[in-house]
Structure 1
């Protein structure tokens, strides 16, 4: 079994993708070639486990399905979804190579009021 320090939860995996998109956006600022960032399709293999530290009592951990483990029986599910990135200030789409660095101030908002 994987130690808990090596586990990646689903929120952390999605956050890493978001952070890498922001890095790519800033790395190519000022370039005459831009790419419009369209829908992002994400698919993960996850293991759902009861976790007393999680508010809802369960936690989704991203798993590597290529690793063949021992005899422990676990239930691995595939989770697939699409994300459509939007600028939190303008509500518009997102370009890779955008001159405007944008803002990440509202990432993670759960539908709260925007300033």
Structure 2
């Protein structure tokens, strides 16, 4: 399992790469709302500084996490560019095209 914060951080890094790749491209796409649907397990620590952490259940996870201890959640993220509040523009480079 990995932390939900790690999943979102990795997504941010991937989107940043797409924004950089869009610079100078004629065809770009405005990045709208992104919805992540993940299965999560909740972990609550019992000490004085109690904290709740969300762990994303990876596909193929072992039987230690059963279906009764996980929940499916959808997280909607609206990306914006720092300082401007504008939606970023992304593009992709076509690699080997399938024929």
Check whether TM > 0.5: yes
CA distance in 2, matches of 1:84, 1:93: 8
Q: Does the 8 A contact of 2:22 with 2:89 survive in 1?
A: no
The separation in 2 between residues aligned to 1:56 and 1:95, in whole angstroms, is 40
Q: Over the residues paired in the alignment, what is the CA RMSD in angstroms?
A: 2.2
TM-score with structure 1 setting the length: 0.66
Distance 1:56 1:27 in 2: 42
Does the CA-based 8 Å contact 1:28-1:96 persist in structure 2?
yes
Gaps spanning 5+ residues in structure 2: where? 92-99
Closer, same or farther: CA 34–57 of 1 in aligned 2, 3 Å: same
Q: 1:56, CA displacement in angstroms?
A: 4.0
State how many pairs are aligned. 89
Q: Where do 5+ consecutive residues of structure 1 fail to align? A: 1-6, 98-115
Consecutive aligned runs of 4 or more in structure 1 exceeding 3 Å deviation: 65-68
Ranked by relative contact order (alpha carbons within 8 Å, sequence separation 6 or more), the top structure is 2
Relative to the length of structure 2, the TM-score reads: 0.75
